[in-house]
Structure 1
């Protein structure tokens, strides 16, 4: 589970009061691993993250839902190429309070929406070329059982070659990370998912009829 991401000199993030990521004993997460990726070689670099740990149980646990798609195929010299994704949420209520969008150099805008009983509500619409971090929403957005989540990434490919999905700066990505909180006293009936976040992925376009 990704618990944070930061790039391009973005501002820091402080979690809401009484919200934290549940790690360690009785959870699937026994370690916290920090990865730092560089585009060029640096000397005397002191990059890192400050983590505050506590043994005190918190009222709300935090999770991160990764929304996006691997179906990226950007035709040469083409603008406004859409890559949609969608899923249906099944679980206890969650409250999205911060969002991070991510794409590479061809990304222009990433967006995420909630669909409830046919009504569409925007969660975020962000420029992946801005400094990348989890930005707090003006107001948290709740997701309830049977809601749909949909989004899209839009690209402009100015090159003479096809660009596809990949992890390097010559490839593209379509990611929208949603950080949310949920009531830790509501346990899953499935022992395999107990103490795990309610949702971790909303990937590809499972419900293309609503995300066209």
Structure 2
């Protein structure tokens, strides 16, 4: 990245009809051997951090005024890596090519409000002929105030509802669940404005659920192909006069090993409303 690039301010994707999903990763300085990534994604996957994801003809994402992702210069992010997942590849067999990509607008003016993304997701498996809930939860331990402003949901074909929450215990130790976002994941997979932009503080918890419905005859595993499934809830936020969270991911093993009901830190779970679009 150029030495003066301070903040990415607007991002949008463009692709032909063969596309499935595009993910823009930011790569830390320590992962200097970028060519390794081309040959073996998993060798540097722990170093990668999501900055943007696009799918299903989503419109552009414009960040709030004065907010940007810090890249290049003296920031720890020196490389941007674009990964494209195609739903089908048979259109390329005759030698046809594609021009999928992401446009990124940036400013060289330093910004005090820096954006970050935390990805909530699960592992696990979905039984045949069954509706399954895939749950995740993490506690915010860093002493920072984060301001959520956008969310994105992502599953493959079995996803029906994805919901995300801020969870905070009240004075009576009863959890208050504040809805950050809820959506049918098979609608355009863009970043949407959060449903509640209350700040998230140290000690708060983030929780997400994917409701999956399988009519298949076999088990469906979490994985990268269109025959597998994914359960992802992205939360985009900004911090003022500090750096984004060190915690970039919030993952659990998923079903049958983990659920909100078996999590001792959670109570007052909105089991029904988290699993349906209209309540």
Q: What is the TM-score with the length of structure 1 in the denominator?
A: 0.87
> Distance between the aligned counterparts of 1:36 and 1:75, measured in 2?
28
Kept in 2: contact 1:97–1:180 (CA 8 A):
yes
Q: CA RMSD of the aligned region, Å? A: 1.9
The equivalent of 2:71 in structure 1 is: 23
Confirm or deny that 1:101 pairs with 2:153: yes
> Comparing both structures, which one devotes a greater share of its residues to helix?
2
Kept in 2: contact 1:93–1:143 (CA 8 A):
yes
| RCO higher in structure (CA 8 A, sep ≥6) | 1
Confirm or deny that 1:65 pairs with 2:118: yes
Q: What are the ranges of 5 or more consecutive residues in structure 1 without an aligned counterpart?
A: 187-194
Confirm or deny that 1:110 pairs with 2:162: yes
Q: What is the TM-score with the length of structure 2 in the denominator?
A: 0.67
Kept in 2: contact 1:111–1:124 (CA 8 A):
yes
> Comparing both structures, which one devotes a greater share of its residues to strand?
2
Confirm or deny that 1:126 pairs with 2:177: no
Q: Deviations over 1:126-145 (max 9, x none)?
A: 11111111112255232111
Kept in 2: contact 1:97–1:141 (CA 8 A):
no
> Distance between the aligned counterparts of 2:245 and 2:195, measured in 1?
23
Q: Deviations over 1:107-137 (max 9, x none)?
A: 1111111111221111111111111111122
Counterpart pick for 2:135 among 64, 84, 105:
84
Aligned length: 201
Classify 1:196/1:15 alpha carbon distance in 2 versus 1 (closer, same or farther; 3 Å).
Answer: closer
Q: What are the ranges of 5 or more consecutive residues in structure 2 without an aligned counterpart?
A: 1-48, 170-174, 253-257, 270-279
User: Which of structures 1 and 2 has the bigger CA Rg?
Assistant: 2
Kept in 2: contact 1:94–1:181 (CA 8 A):
yes
